[in-house]
Structure 1
Amino acid sequence: MHSRLGCFNFRKINWQTKLNKNTNTCLNGSDDQALIDILNEASAEQLVLFPTRESNTLDLLITTLPGQFTDIHSPDRFSNHDIVMGTLRCTIPRKIRPGRTFFQYLKGNYNQMREDSKEFTRDRYFNGHQNNRNVEENWDMIKEFILGTTKINVPTKTSKGKQSIP
């Protein structure tokens, strides 16, 4: 969020219409129009719409998130300018970590995994074709077997996601 608050001497701007306050015409070629153009390019808004020094709105609140500010007002005058006050709504988005699945190795059926391993080595791996495959193909075959038998014979548990404020 980008916000700026401060005293600016742009006395000619009617902030509700963005026209010349005195003539109700465009501010072309002036510093006032340059400020309005900059605000438009940045998708920013000036939120103070009431005079803060005599009949001029000199104390500005410029932001790209106008919905975050509410109750913009000026309490009693304490100096030659009115103080601008408002409420800024700050919310911290919650980060929700998704649930995580993990293996419960203590409850695994290791007898079945041993039987599966014997069958794999006898029928699928050492079947006379092990020397016809390259190292990567052999490794991929072993890895897929280990992951598959683990998935079948070791139960899993899914944890709940956490909601935590950073």
Structure 2
Amino acid sequence: MLFHLGNAAMLPLFGQAVVSRGEADPGAFTALTVIVSQLVMIPVALLAGRYAARHGYWTLLTAASMALPLRGLIAAFWATPWALLPVQILDGIAAGLLGVALPGLVASILRGSGHVNAGLGAVMTVQGIGAALSPALAGWIAHRHGYGPAFVALSLVSALALVMLLLAKGAEHPRRRK
């Protein structure tokens, strides 16, 4: 939930911040944000699948969670249209890694239980709650304090997600680390 709470509002907020300053064409800039992210996400997901088959899912989840706070900090402190490249490259990396790792991890944890689909549905529901709350949180902060503080807040939420992931990984049973 925390990953998506920190992530979901970043792209629309970033586009809004750049366009509101009159630094980019709204349609073209929005299209570029999506294109850059997708061009990165697809090859990352393909490589992540191969990596996970040999090494497991925890490293992929950790890397995805590390990309998000960095993404928010770049958006907060590099207020130019050129920040689109690192911000959306990091989005593509995180999305590609998470898209492979999370379903794989759920399947490996629930393997043999007969509840993999229910487990994945529960995880996706919690993710959806975080994603739904993200624009409200970011919008409220941006309205009261500006875009920079909103990106910093999203980065802090993302960093909390990373900390919780690392704590969960450390508490995990050694036989289930893949």
TM over 0.5: no
Return the index of the structure with the highest Cα Rg. 1
TM-score if structure 1 supplies the norm length?
0.24
Which has the higher relative contact order, 1 or 2, with Cα contacts under 8 A spaced 6 or more apart?
A: 2
- In proportion to residue count, which structure has more helix? 2
- TM-score w.r.t. structure 2 length? 0.23
